[in-house]
Amino acid sequence: MQGDDWVIRIEQYHDWWFDNAVEFLGHLLERLGVDVVWDGGISFEPLNEDEVERLVEEIEQLIVFKLKYQTKEKKTDRIIEKNRAYLPTMHRGKYVSFLALKLNEKQKNSERSIGVRKEIIDDITDILSQENTNGTKICDICGHDANELFQVSQTTYPVVTGSLRSQCGVRKMESEYHCCALCAFLGSIEWLDDMPFACDHANLTHYLLFPKIEELEELHAFKNGLRGVLTTKPYSNVISIFESAQGEKKEIYAKDEYSLLLSLLEQMWYKIEEIEEYESVLCDRWIRLKIKGMEAKYQTKYSYLEEIHIPQIERFKKIFEELLPYSDFVSHSFASPLKEGASKEIIQRLTKEDQYLMSKGIIMDDFKTFSKAFQIRQNCRLSTPKDALDYLIYTWRCKDGTI
Ligand SMILES: [Zn+2]
- Cα 396 to ligand 1 centroid, rounded to whole Å: 46
| Whether the predicted pLDDT of 125 surpasses 70 | yes
- pLDDT bracket for residue 166 (50, 70, 90): low
37-38 β-sheet, strand order: 8-11, 41-44, 37-38
The answer to whether 94 and 101 have CB atoms below 8 angstroms apart is yes
Mean pLDDT of 111-123: 70
For the cut 80, the answer to whether the pLDDT of residue 255 exceeds it is: yes
pLDDT tens sequence across 294-304 = 665 545 577 89
What are the sequence ranges of the domains in the chain?
8-192, 197-401
CA of 57 to the centre of ligand 1 (A): 24
Distance 184 CA to ligand 1 centre (A): 7
Distance from CA of residue 97 to its chain's centroid?
19
Residue 181 Cα to ligand 1 middle (Å): 7
Mean pLDDT of 279-294: 82
380 has pLDDT over 80: yes
Q: Is the pLDDT of residue 350 over 70?
A: yes
d(CA 183, CA 15): 12
Please state, in angstroms and rounded to a whole number, the distance separating the CA atoms of residues 288 and 305. 6
Cα of 361 from ligand 1 centre, angstroms: 40
Q: How far is the CA of 221 from the centre of ligand 1 (A)?
A: 25
* pLDDT at residue 120 in the model: 75
Question: For residues 154 and 284, which has the higher predicted lDDT (pLDDT)?
Answer: 284
- What's the gap in Å between 294 CA and the centre of ligand 1? 30
Cα of 398 from ligand 1 centre, angstroms = 52
**Mean of the pLDDT values across residues 129-135?**
71
Q: Judge residue 322's burial from the number of C-beta atoms within 10 Å of its C-beta, 0-12 exposed, 13-18 middle, 19 or more buried.
A: middle
Query: Does residue 133 have a pLDDT over 70?
Result: no
Percentage with pLDDT > 70 across the chain = 79
pLDDT at 257: 96
CA 179–ligand 1 middle distance (angstroms): 5
Specify which residues 403 forms β-bridges with: none
Give the per-residue pLDDT at 256: 95
CA of 309 to the centre of ligand 1 (A): 29
Q: How far is the CA of 13 from the centre of ligand 1 (A)?
A: 10
Helix, coil or strand: residue 93: coil
Bigger pLDDT: 75 or 336? 336
Taking all residues of the chain, what is their mean pLDDT, rounded to a whole number? Answer: 82
At 235 the pLDDT is 82
Q: Residues 139, 180: contact at Cβ < 8 Å?
A: yes
Question: At residue 39, does pLDDT exceed 80?
Answer: yes
Calculate how far, in angstroms, residue 162's C-alpha sits from the geometric centre of ligand 1: 19
Least confident interval from 197-206, 208-217, 271-280? 271-280
Query: How sure is the predictor about 41, in pLDDT bands with cuts at 50, 70 and 90?
Result: very high
More confident of the two residues 401 and 268: 268
Q: How far is the CA of 243 from the centre of ligand 1 (A)?
A: 49
Q: Decide which of 82 and 315 is more confident.
A: 315
Ligand 1 centre to CA of 154 (Å) is 15
pLDDT at 62: 82
Ligand 1: centre distance to CA 289 (Å): 22
- Residue 169 pLDDT greater than 70, yes or no: no
CA–centroid distance, residue 387 to ligand 1 (Å): 54
Work out the pLDDT band at 359, boundaries 50, 70, 90: very high
Asked if 296 contacts 90 with a C-beta cutoff of 8 angstroms, the reply is: no
What percent of the chain has a predicted confidence (pLDDT) above 90?
A: 40
Q: Mean pLDDT: which of 18-22, 79-83, 317-321, 323-327 is highest?
A: 18-22
Maximum C-alpha span of the chain: 80
For residue 144, report the distance from its CA to the centre of ligand 1, in Å: 6
